[in-house]
Structures are given as C-alpha cells and as structure tokens.
Amino acid sequence: MSEAGTGDMNTGKQEDIANVLIVDNDPELARLMLEILARKGIRGHLVGDKESALDFIGRGSCDFVFTSDTIRPGGDRAGRAGDGFKLLGRIRANWPELPVVMITDCPKSGPQNQHRIVETAVSAVRQGCCDFLIKPPAREKIETLLDTFLPNHAVSTAALANEDTHCLYRIVGRSANLVKTIDLAERIAPTSAPVLVSGDSGTGKELIAYMVHHRSKRAQGPYIKINCAALSDSLLESELFGHEKGAFTGAHARRRGRFEMAHGGTLLLDEITETPIRFQAKLLRVLEQQDFERVGGNESVRVDVRIISTTNKDLLQEVQQGRFRQDLYYRLSGVRLAISPLRERKDDLSDLVWYFVNLYAREVQRRITRLDPAMMGIFTKYHWPGNVRQLRNVVRTSLILGVGETLSLADVSWLFDELQPLAQQECVAYDSPCSNPASSDPGLGGVPLEQVERRAILDTLRQTGGNRTKAAKVLGISDRTLRDRMHRYRREGSLQPV
C-alpha cells in the first residue's frame, strides 16, 4: 500500500499518471515531447517561463522537468539568458530529488559555439541536471530517460484516489483478502458508523481508514489524525479536547483540540489500544454525547465527528485482560475491518515490488526491466513480520545497492540472512540443528557441481558480511574470479542458494 492523502476516488481501473513539465516555447520541441509522453501514458504540461514552472512544481504534481537553458517567455526568440539556470537553482534548493534535464539549441558551426555548448553542459550537470541534450533531442534518448526516471511497470490496483494531476493514494494488490477488505470498506464508507481497523504493524491501516473517509459523505470535511501511542494521558486530553488560556503552564492562548478541528468530518484515533484506562472513560463520554469541555474551561463544545480507530492488537483480548474498557470497545467497533498480513497475501508480492520499483527507481537513476526469480522465491517463503513497510525498505535497499537492469539481492548479501524462512531463522538464532528432520539440510548428494560452487560462494559471502576480498581468500580464488562469478549469477538470475 502507498501513502494516503486527499482527493477523488477511483477503484480498480484508473492508474496514477506521471506528470512531466516542459519549460520552453519551442513548438517543434513541444510537439516531439508531447507525442513521446502520450505514447508512454505520461501527462505533459507546457509552460513558458520560470515563475509558471515554479508554480506548477509547487503544487506537488511534478515528476520530471525538461527545461531550456534559455527560457523564452511569450515566444521571444531573443531569450532571457540565465533563466533556465535560475529555475534549476530554485528546483535544487526546494525539490532536490526532482529530476531535471536541460535542453539547448543546436549550435551554429564554429569552435566558439561548440565551446559554449560544452561549458553550458558542464555547468548544468554540476548544478544538478541529470542530463543535457541538444535540440532536436533524439527520441530514443528521451524514452530512455523516461524509462529510467519514470518507470511505469503495470501493477494491479485495488483502489486509487486522484485529484487533478496528483495521485493522492493507491492501494496495490490483487489478493482475495485485500479485495474483500476494500469491498467492505466501500460499503460502510457512506454511513457514519464508527469503524475499527485492525491489522499488524505495516499493513496499511491508516490508508484504509483514509479511504473510508474519502468515500464517505464527509469527504469535503476535515480528516484529522492523532497517534494515541505518542502522547501521555494529560497530553492526550489536551490534544483531543483543546485547552483554555492559562489552563496549565505554557497555555498562553486558547487552543482547539482534534475533536473540534474534525467537526463535520472524520477523526482517526491511531493505535487506540495505547490510551490509558483512566482516559478511556473520558473518551467514551465524548464519543457517546459528541460534546466536551476544553481543559481548564467550563464551556460545552458540541461537535459532529465520525470516529475511525486503528489497532495492531487483538482488542477483545485486551478487553478480557482488563487493559481496554469493554464499553469503549463496543462503542468503537460499530464495523470492523481486518487487514491481512503480507504473509497471507503472497499474490500481492509481485505487484508491490513493481510498485516500489516505480516509486524509487528515479532516486538511483537505475532502469529495472526484470525481477530476479531467485529473489521472488525468497520473498514468497519469507514471513514478513514488518509487512508492506518492510517489503518497501527491502526493495529500496536492493535498488540502491544493486546494479544492472535486474532487481536482485546479489549485491546485498546480508539480506539473504534477514529474509530466511522463520523456522530456519530460529535454528540459526539458537546455533543448533533443526529438530524437524524434514527441515534439515539434505546434503549435497545429487547436486550439480556448478550449484555446489555457487552455494559455497554465497555462503562464504554471508559469513564475511559481504566482504568480497575476504571471501575470495577463504575460497582460495582471486578477486577477479569471484567478481566474474557474481556477474554471471546475476545475469542468469540464479542467486538462490541451493
């Protein structure tokens, strides 16, 4: 699952679309760029000056910028020297990770003009451009840049929200468990019933909670969140109900609480089980009557708020053990939504990996065309205690530390140990053989010699913490031989230990 925001909702069909800004008034360049972008399903936006470009980027809708080194407002062929570099400087200062490519006119013949182009290109790259092109740019070069910085690998989408050019959130996956949860969320969203969203940490509870708000009749109202686990009893009361001036030391003015801010909309109580028992009684009264008094005040404040709560614990068990009030539980759980952990949604793994590749590939300027089957085999067997959040970090790490167009774990040897199946990890932790004979190592009998060699190399790399020089000495081979073997394994996609 991806991050949540605000906006209009579409389910299952519409894809979030990348937005490319073209800062130039050259009609020939505009025609070429818009044609290439349209073929790739990318939105192109044309502006003719620096201020318009900064305004567009500032709206948070821009994924890539192509700009002239000399921006010509209104088609003025005389140009305004330096505006392209001024724009580049503002982008680097405010949006340092936004990729920018600078394009300049084809120079007239002559050594002075050629020297000017070289100086301009060097300056552009030094100031943060990811590339420098000369008009008319080659179609293949533009397509390669787009594939590298704006990959658009197809992924299955269970729900999506867009507003104008901005993708506000996206729920990725196709598994039956996820689809069932989304369908139920869509059915209860138009009501005002309180909703309890449960699921392990990292499964995307906040995203589902926002989706319920966004599909509700309160979508135009505020959506206010509070993390109950991050605040003490006294702070929770002040944060939720607000306080009057002078209510306590440091209360220099009246402050509205989250309930008041959420009037007419939705209030998300994140990790509700972390609230102290004493505070739960106060919370119950407010939820029942929808009115309260600010801390230090006696004026009753009435609100109309829908409550959505999340928890990563078994709330009924918390009630039975006396850590959560039973009456509050019944008040919060008008409708319950349970999000399955990633280990029960293996059908979503491929879509999620590709989604994170699309999201993070531009950070490392690395084009990915293939997922290593050995890596996906490891992912399928792993139990994912950190769920989607953990998978996101693993994919991002592999993108940053790996090389080539195949995403694999070849250059992140320590991830092999981290991503072992649960039973195998327990055996390693206790430094003892597994008691279950079926899970023990069957030995190397019948294994081809090449696979034995591969296993020895990968195991030794793990033991040396990925230190190739040390591993080569242990194996009795040269650094070059080890490097050649790793390159070959990566090309073959056969890095799964046997």
pLDDT digits (tens, 9 = 90+) for 76-124: 444 444 688 999 999 999 999 899 999 988 766 667 777 888 888 899 9
- The more confidently predicted of residues 217 and 250 is 217
pLDDT of residue 396: 94
Q: Does 45 have pLDDT greater than 90?
A: yes
Helix (H) or strand (E) holding 336: strand 335-338
293 forms beta bridges with: 300
Q: Which two tokens mark 442?
A: 């069957």
User: What residue ranges do the domains of the chain occupy?
Assistant: 19-149, 176-338, 344-492
Helix 111-126 and helix 83-94, axial crossing angle in degrees, nearest 10: 20
pLDDT of residue 8: 35
Mean pLDDT of the 171-193 span: 93
Yes or no: say if 301 and 291 are a contact pair by the CB < 8 Å rule.
Answer: yes
Nearby residues of 483 by Cβ (< 8 Å), 6 or more positions away: 468
Task: Please state, as a whole number, how many other Cβ atoms lie within 10 Å of the Cβ of residue 381.
Answer: 15
Residue tagged 């039956």 (tokens): 176
Q: Which CATH superfamily, name and number, covers 19-149?
A: Response regulator (3.40.50.2300)
- The more confidently predicted of residues 1 and 421 is 421
pLDDT of residue 13: 34
Helices and strands, number each (H, E), in the chain: 20, 19
Tell me if domain 19-149 and domain 344-492 are identical in fold.
Answer: no
pLDDT of residue 393: 94
Percent of the chain whose pLDDT exceeds 70:
84
Report the alpha-carbon distance of residue 174 to residue 187 in Å, rounded.
19
- The 8-class DSSP code of residue 386 comes to T
Handedness of CA 160, 384, 311, 238 (dihedral sign): negative
Coil, helix or strand at residue 31: helix
What is the per-residue DSSP string for 117-171? HHHHHHHHHHTT-SEEEESSPPHHHHHHHHHHHS------EEEEEEETTEEEEEE
Task: Give start and end residues of each alpha helix (H) in 191-230.
Answer: 205-214
Q: Of 47-56, 83-92, 334-343, 428-437, which gets the smallest average pLDDT?
A: 428-437
CATH class of segment(s) 344-492: mainly alpha
pTM of the model: 0.72
Yes or no: say if 169 and 207 are a contact pair by the CB < 8 Å rule.
Answer: yes
Sheet holding 131-134, edge to edge: 43-47, 19-23, 64-68, 100-104, 131-134
Report the alpha-carbon distance of residue 47 to residue 64 in Å, rounded.
13
Report the alpha-carbon distance of residue 321 to residue 346 in Å, rounded.
33
Mean pLDDT of the 14-30 span: 82
Is 494 exposed, middle or buried (CB count within 10 Å of its CB: 0-12, 13-18, 19+)? middle
Yes or no: say if 308 and 266 are a contact pair by the CB < 8 Å rule.
Answer: yes
pLDDT of residue 228: 87
Q: Of 7-11, 159-163, 403-407, 449-453, which gets the smallest average pLDDT?
A: 7-11
pLDDT of residue 491: 66
Phi-psi region of 2 (alpha: psi -120 to 50; beta: other; left: phi over 0): beta
Q: Please, what is the average pLDDT of the chain?
A: 82
Chain segment 167-176, per-residue pLDDT in tens? 667 889 999 9
pLDDT of residue 10: 35
- The more confidently predicted of residues 34 and 409 is 34
- Position 426 confidence tier, pLDDT thresholds 50, 70, 90: very low
Q: Of 38-52, 165-179, 332-346, 458-472, which gets the smallest average pLDDT?
A: 458-472
The CATH T-level fold of domain 176-338 is: Rossmann fold (3.40.50)
Is 497 exposed, middle or buried (CB count within 10 Å of its CB: 0-12, 13-18, 19+)? middle
